[in-house]
Amino acid sequence: MLKIKNIIILFSLCSLIFSNIIESKLLSNDSYITGDDGVVRMYVNVLGHVKNPGTYVVYDGIDFLTVLSMAGGYLNGSNLRNIMIHHNDGTSEEINLKKILSIDSESLISIHLKPHDTIYVEETSWSKFIYSSNLPGIILGILNIALTLERTN
């Protein structure tokens, strides 16, 4: 029993040490990083109702739509009127992408991304209801039963 306990403790310590080494090589807390090519890059997070959410290494000065495209774009049912950009300093910025795309393309230029910014694309309530709820299936099932009973009479 004591031997198993020691093995578990040793395994836990090794996994903790190696996870710290791996994490430090994958992500950096630095605001900017420079590759061998000399291009200044930064980390940006894209979360929510997008095709490929995750952390992306992008060049400094990249525009908002390019980062959104790197994440595979927004999915059907995304709330384009309320896209949030959370900055690392604790401030937030709300983007109405639907309005920007339909009226004013100059507004895209004013959206500046900073290192470690997080872009959050919310799913609309209607989309959540339709795709995440069993209620539409239940209603259709009841309707199907009612129509079947009506035909048999």
Structure confidence at residue 21 (pLDDT): 45
Give the residue extent of every domain in the chain: 42-132
Q: Which residue has the higher pLDDT, 32 or 92?
A: 92
Per the confidence metrics, is the pTM higher than 0.85?
A: no
CATH number of 42-132: 3.10.560.10
Tens digits of per-residue pLDDT, 71-121? 999 999 899 999 999 998 999 999 998 888 877 556 666 788 999 999 999
* Range with the poorest average pLDDT among 3-12, 18-27, 130-139: 18-27
HEC assignment per residue over 65-131 = HHHHHHCCCECCCECCCCEEEECCCCCEEEECHHHHHHCCHHHHHHCCCCCCEEEEECECHHHHHHH
Structure confidence at residue 3 (pLDDT): 64
